[in-house]
Amino acid sequence: MKAAERFKWVSISMLFAVGLAACDKPGPAETAGKKIDQAVDESGKKIGEATDKVGEQMSEQGDKAGVAMDDTAITAKVKAAIFAEPGLKTLQISVDTVKGVVTLSGSVDSQASSDRAKTLAGAVAGVRDVENHLVVK
């Protein structure tokens, strides 16, 4: 929002300068006042449109960042859950999360360990689905 605020203040300053310049022109004060009012109205509309666009872009970027942060948090929680489980070799299990879908890859020593890792991952808040690509060695 800082960019939008700066743009707003620069635009207001420019309007003020245009208004002062219009006052210096020869002609009736009423004509100058009308021109100032028109300029303020047009600039206000343009400022509003620009502010809306900046706000939308910032919102989209925030949403994207929120998804990335959520996925990172989910990955960390899944890794912690697997690490805390006795018998699972955490260094041989990779965890990746994209839009709430967790992918487990690597190797485990038994099908039971593979199933347990999948269950642990699925129990983490925010996980929509678990793709288990663990290989039993």
Which tokens in the block code for residue 51? 């502010």
Cβ contact 110:121 at 8 Å: no
Quote the number of domains for the chain: 2
pLDDT tens across the length of the chain (137 residues): 566 677 677 667 666 666 666 555 555 666 767 777 777 677 667 777 777 777 677 766 665 655 556 888 899 999 888 888 887 776 788 999 999 999 999 999 889 989 999 999 999 988 999 999 999 98
One domain, residues 101 and 51: no
> Same domain, yes or no, for 74 and 131?
yes
- Which domain range does residue 18 map to? 2-65
CB neighbour class for 56 (10 Å; exposed up to 12, middle 13-18, buried from 19): exposed
pTM as predicted: 0.53
